[in-house]
Structure 1
C-alpha cells in the first residue's frame, strides 16, 4: 500500500556499493534498504561489531552487578566494607567504560560510512 514511487540515478560504481551495503546489512530487497536509509538517514548493523566484545561487555556488567550485590549483603550483615571491594568495583567500571567506548567508536564508524 505504497502508491508513490521515487526514482534517482547513480553510477555503476555507486549502484554496486549500494547493493553491496544492502546485502551486508541483511536487507532482502533494495527497496527496503533504500526506504530505511532515506527515512532514518543511516542503518546501524550491530552484527558488524564484534560479538565477542559485546558478550564480554555483558559478562563484565553482570559480574560487576554480582559483586555489588555480594558487597551489599556483607555491608548489611556486618556493617563493613573493604577497600579491595571498592577497588574491584572501580576496576570493573573502568573496564566497562573502555568496552563501551570501543563499541560506540565502532558504531560511529558505521554511522559515518
Structure 2
C-alpha cells in the first residue's frame, strides 16, 4: 500500500436506486470495476445542466391544443358536419406543435456518442 499511485480515498453514500444505476452503468461500460468507471467519469465525463422551462411551456401549449381539438371534435360529433374552418384550425394547431418541437430541438446541444 505504501507504493500506491492513488493515495486519496473517496467515500460516498448511495441510495439503493443510485447503487443499482451505478452497477448497471459499470456493466455496460465494460470496465473492470467501479473505481475505474468513476475515475473515467471524473476525467472524461460530462455533466449536463438541462433547462426544462421550454419543455414545460411546450407541454402547456400541447394541453391547450388538445383542448381545442377536443372542442372541435365535440362540435363535429354534435353536428355531424366537418367545417372548413375547423379543419383549418386543426392544421394550424398541428403546425404550432411542429414549430414548437423544431424550435426546442434546434436549441438542444449536440452530443457525440
Q: TM-score range by the shorter chain?
A: 0.5 to 0.7
By relative contact order (CA 8 Å, sep 6+), the higher-ranking structure is 1
2:8 is matched with which residue?
none
Matching residue within 47, 50, 53 for 1:46 = 50
Residues of 1 paired with 2:67 and 2:73: CA distance?
10
The structure with the greater share of residues assigned to helix is 1
After TM superposition, the score normalised by the length of structure 2 is 0.53
Quote the residue 2:84 is aligned against.
Answer: 83
Q: Unaligned regions of 5+ residues in structure 2, if any?
A: 1-18, 24-32
CA separation in 1, counterparts of 2:47 and 2:69? 36
- Structure 1 portions without partners, runs of 5+: 8-30
Report the number of matched residues: 81
Aligned-residue Cα RMSD (Å) equals 3.4
Distance 1:43 1:75, change over 3 A: farther
